[in-house]
Amino acid sequence: MGFYTPSQLVQDARRHGVEVRPVDVMHSAVESTLEDMPDTPAVRLGLHMVHGLQATSAARIVAERAVAPFARADELARRARLEQHEMKLLAAAGALATLSGHRRQQVWAAAALHAPPELLQAAPVDEAFLELPAAPEGEEVVWDFASVGLTLRSHPMALLRPQLERYRARTSAQLQHVRDGRWVRTVGMVTLRQQPPTAKGTVFVSLEDEHGSTQIIVWRHVKEAQRQALLGARLLLVQGRWQREGAVCNLIAHRLWDLSSLLGRLATQSRDFHCSNGIWRQLRIVFRCAYR
């Protein structure tokens, strides 16, 4: 499973009806876990998913929560001995939602926390509440990818779909109904590039959209002519001939366009061979329970 990123695993699991719940300081363990056992289980993302958060800090959060639930963000910081930058990491990941509300509110609350003098470390801080407007979904998705590496909100491609209409590109779901040999276009986020030593220069690319993945075959002469788009794109538009042999479908690339600018600040990953073993282990258990 090392070819797949945590984002791909989670997206595929959700398309198969598996519930995946976000990182939350009031519910998450250090590693990803299963909830609602022995009924239909759900995957709870662990605190280890928060980019930059030390394992020791995550362990203190879990240990203190076992003693008593946290009532406020400042109480969490005080009892778990978290520095301000760690609270900002949790807020950026949306992990303070139960305590502070939506993400902008979380970031504001975390930014206001400063380490008090030693004599006042046990004293609670009472400040007037400032209510901020919630962020639009696109901003939330950018935060999710930057801080956790995946999103449980709308897939980025679903948000971009109105802008992609002018390219007359078919989704991965629409391609499943295309007959063999037809010329088509599709667009997706690049999740994998492979050039096996035995492929004689051929590159295999996986594109992901809101419905699933499409496999692209790029022959050597196309690769050499359009190397920049092929190797540099995070969002790739492909025109080519659809190939169908039974249940196996591929798009044989003819033209490539780099549309990465449409992703803005979204930090996507491709060719990540180091998937989260914790997430995969929990998803594998869920699939086994759901389809046994």
Same domain, 64 and 209: no
Same domain, 278 and 249: no
Q: Is residue 268 part of a domain?
A: no
Residue 129 has pLDDT above 70, yes or no: no
Q: Is residue 1 part of a domain?
A: no
Q: pLDDT class for 35, splitting at 50, 70, 90?
A: very high
Same domain, 111 and 128: yes
Same domain, 53 and 142: yes
Q: Is residue 113 part of a domain?
A: yes
Report the pLDDT value the prediction gives residue 61, as an integer from 0 to 100.
97
Q: pLDDT class for 206, splitting at 50, 70, 90?
A: very high
Q: Is residue 27 part of a domain?
A: yes
Same domain, 53 and 192: no
* pLDDT-above-90 percentage for the chain: 62
Per DSSP, the residues of the chain read -TTS-HHHHHHHHHHTT--EE---TTT--SS-EEESTTSS-EEE--GGGSTT--HHHHHHHHHHHHHS---SHHHHHHHTT--HHHHHHHHHTTTTHHHH-SHHHHHHHHHT--PPPGGGTTS---------PPPPHHHHHHHHHHHTS--SSS-HHHHHHHHHGGGTPBPHHHHTTPPTT-EEEEEEEEEEEE--GGGTT-EEEEEEETTEEEEEEE-HHHHHHSHHHHHH-SEEEEEEEEEEETTEEEEEEEEEEE-GGGGTT-----S-----HHHHHHHHHHHHHHH-
| Whole-number average pLDDT of the chain | 86
Q: Is residue 235 part of a domain?
A: yes
Q: Is residue 287 part of a domain?
A: yes
Residue 122 has pLDDT above 60, yes or no: no
CATH of the domain at 247: 2.40.50.140
Same domain, 26 and 83: yes
Q: pLDDT class for 127, splitting at 50, 70, 90?
A: low
Q: pLDDT class for 275, splitting at 50, 70, 90?
A: very low
Q: Is residue 171 part of a domain?
A: yes
CATH of the domain at 32: 1.10.150
Same domain, 145 and 102: yes
Residue 162 has pLDDT above 60, yes or no: yes
Same domain, 196 and 137: no
Q: Is residue 90 part of a domain?
A: yes
Tens of pLDDT, residues 218-269: 999 999 999 999 999 999 999 999 999 988 999 999 999 999 999 886 756 5
Residue-range definition of the domain harbouring residue 97: 6-149+273-291
Arithmetic mean of pLDDT, 28-54: 94
Count of domains observed in the chain: 2
Same domain, 11 and 142: yes
Report the pLDDT value the prediction gives residue 117, as an integer from 0 to 100.
54
Same domain, 38 and 142: yes
Same domain, 142 and 277: yes
Which position has the higher pLDDT, 25 or 290?
Answer: 25
Same domain, 96 and 231: no
Arithmetic mean of pLDDT, 28-51: 94
